[in-house]
Amino acid sequence: MPRPQPLPVGSIEERVADAHIEQLGKIADRIASSEGAPPGAGKVSEAQAVRNWGIRDPLVDPDQFKLMLMQQGIPDAAWQHLMLAEEYPDLRADYAQPVQDPDLAEQLTVLAEHPYRAALVFDHSDDDEERVQYADHLDRAYQQKVAGLLAQPVQPQQPTTNGPTLPEEGAP
């Protein structure tokens, strides 16, 4: 005759509570995954926003870019190397054809030159006036940061030697 298995340690109440907690955890995970990230989770810090505000695409020369955009549009070969193409691939159609309106060409050029600014401003608020105020705020903060960096004195570097040095002329 087989030996009876010992009963698990703990009371029935403890086992039911453990099973209930496990089920609640699974339910909470399902709700969290269906709801997405909590509000504000995708927001960048103020310092990061100021840094992102100043990021320029080094491949965009504003004058040449605007001229090309107005004359022929931006060719695919050039588009694929732009930071803007990585951030907003869906904007390709706006840059593919020549743009007749100089104001629109200017706006598209600024967006290509500073590809992170639009996301910063549009993620900040749905209100146009608040967006403008936030853009002005970031621009002022970035200008102050640049001015502060330029005002810092540059410390001269002492030359270092790696290995033996040659004796100076006339030295024994």
pTM for the full model?
A: 0.60
Residue 82 · residue 65 · CB < 8 Å: no
Q: At what angle do helices 46-53 and 128-151 cross, to 10 degrees?
A: 80
Residues 6+ positions from 70 with CB-CB distance below 8 Å = 98, 99, 100, 102, 105
Reading the chain (172 residues) residue by residue, the pLDDT tens digits are 566 665 555 677 777 777 767 777 777 777 766 766 555 556 778 889 999 999 999 999 999 999 999 999 999 999 999 999 998 999 999 999 999 999 999 999 999 999 999 888 888 888 999 999 999 999 999 999 888 887 777 666 665 555 555 556 665 5
pLDDT in tens, 80-94: 999 999 989 999 999
**What's the half-sphere exposure (Cβ side, CA atoms, 13 Å) at 67?**
4
